[in-house]
């Protein structure tokens, strides 16, 4: 991303006059530490940037990058799709990613893991919990169902998990994570479970549902969120000439085919990413229902154990 786009994007966010979160993602953002530092500094200097996050595959971390994480108090997310063998098969560079996690651990930098859930790793989600068990800096896991967009669209039919395997895999993961957390002074949180167990349901799944977020393409074009990036049907102008009204196009946060009225978790269900719902048409949309119901059943049947001290 050219610096001119970067600085204009930060100015655009600050011009709203409201506090904002800056999320840095890629490609692989850690390949350009100098640009990442400029983005973080510009956002902080606006006086309105409250938090900064970065999503990385962890394979290119360096002492310089770790210093930037600490200096700007960045929330670090690492893409990890399972244990070493599963991650290697699904994404590659498993050894490099695990080395990155070790670097974060040694530097005392908290991190969360994001896992893309597919047919190939649902049966091994419990191993992800075991992989993270020894990392004291691991703070959480987020499960992102596959999105049929870009390269994934060509193989989506073969790569989506089925309802049964997704339910079984998520239950096994939740149970394993509970056992792991019973031995940790600080638990590893499961994002989807936390969303379900929240006392009050949020009126919208995310800021994009309300037109309160924007994603910036390296060429300066704007889109409602990262899921819709580079999809011209969601184009919302540029950082120099934004079209705020176009950011309102993502309103759906419930699967079209879901029978929400009869669902046992209807009063707690957080809904789903509107971008994912847009691209995952038909029965694929209700996979999130299977995930939430499985986690709810596990939570109510097996209350969390008291952690050892």
Take residue 299 and report the two structure tokens written for it.
């939570």
Cα dist. 302→18, 159, 295 in Å? 42, 30, 10
Domains observed in the chain: 3-191 (3.20.20.70), 207-301 (no CATH)
Residue 309's pLDDT is 47
**33, 67 Cβ separation under 8 angstroms:** no
Mean pLDDT, residues 62-78? 97
**Cβ-Cβ contacts under 8 Å for 196 (sequence gap 6 or more):** 265, 268, 269, 270, 292, 295, 296, 299
Say which residue, 262 or 238, is predicted with more confidence: 238
What is the three-class DSSP state of 23?
strand
Beta strand 75-79 with 111-117 is parallel
pLDDT digits (tens, 9 = 90+) for 78-130: 999 999 999 999 989 999 999 999 999 999 999 999 999 999 999 999 999 99
Residue 198's pLDDT is 80
The residues that bridge with 76 in the sheet, in sequence order, are 54, 111
Residue 304's pLDDT is 56
**Cβ-Cβ contacts under 8 Å for 155 (sequence gap 6 or more):** none
Residue 303's pLDDT is 59
Report the Cα–Cα distance between both ends of the chain, in Å, rounded.
47
pLDDT digits (tens, 9 = 90+) for 146-177: 998 877 676 666 699 999 999 999 999 999 99
> What value, to the nearest 5°, has the Cα angle with vertex 295 and ends 75 and 188?
35
What is the three-class DSSP state of 155?
helix
- DSSP labels, 250-269: ----S-TT--GGG-TTTTT-
The tokens 């694929």 sit on which residue?
284
The tokens 């949309």 sit on which residue?
285
For residues 1 and 219, give the distance between their C-alpha atoms in angstroms, rounded to a whole number.
7
């Amino acid at each position: 991303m050219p610096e001119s786009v970067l600085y204009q994007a930060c100015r655009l966010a600050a011009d709203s006059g409201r506090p904002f979160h800056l999320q840095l993602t890629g490609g692989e953002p850690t390949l350009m530490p100098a640009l990442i530092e400029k983005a973080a500094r510009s956002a902080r200097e606006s006086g309105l940037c409250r938090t900064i996050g970065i999503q990385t595959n962890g394979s290119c971390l360096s002492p310089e990058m770790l210093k930037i994480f600490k200096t700007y108090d960045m929330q670090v997310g690492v893409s990890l799709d399972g244990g070493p063998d599963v991650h290697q098969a699904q994404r590659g560079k498993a050894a490099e990613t695990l080395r990155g996690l070790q670097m974060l651990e040694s530097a005392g930098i908290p991190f969360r893991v994001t896992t893309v859930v597919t047919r190939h790793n649902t049966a091994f989600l419990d191993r992800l919990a075991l992989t993270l068990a020894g990392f004291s800096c691991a703070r959480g896991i987020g499960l992102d169902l596959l999105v049929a967009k870009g390269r994934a669209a060509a193989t989506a039919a073969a790569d989506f998990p089925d309802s049964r395997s997704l339910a079984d895999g998520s239950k096994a993961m939740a149970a394993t994570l509970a056992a792991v957390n019973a031995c940790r002074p600080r638990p590893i949180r499961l994002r989807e479970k936390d969303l379900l167990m929240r006392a009050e349901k949020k009126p919208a799944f995310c800021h994009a549902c309300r037109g309160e977020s924007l994603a910036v393409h390296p060429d300066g074009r704007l889109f409602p969120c990262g899921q819709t990036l580079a999809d011209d049907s969601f184009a919302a102008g540029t950082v120099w000439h934004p079209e705020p009204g176009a950011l309102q196009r993502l309103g759906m946060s419930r699967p079209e085919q879901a029978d929400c009225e009869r669902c046992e978790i209807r009063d707690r269900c957080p809904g789903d990413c509107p971008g994912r719902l847009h691209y995952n048409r038909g029965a694929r949309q209700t996979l999130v229902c299977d995930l939430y119901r499985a986690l709810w059943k596990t939570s109510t049947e097996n209350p969390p154990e008291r952690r050892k001290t």
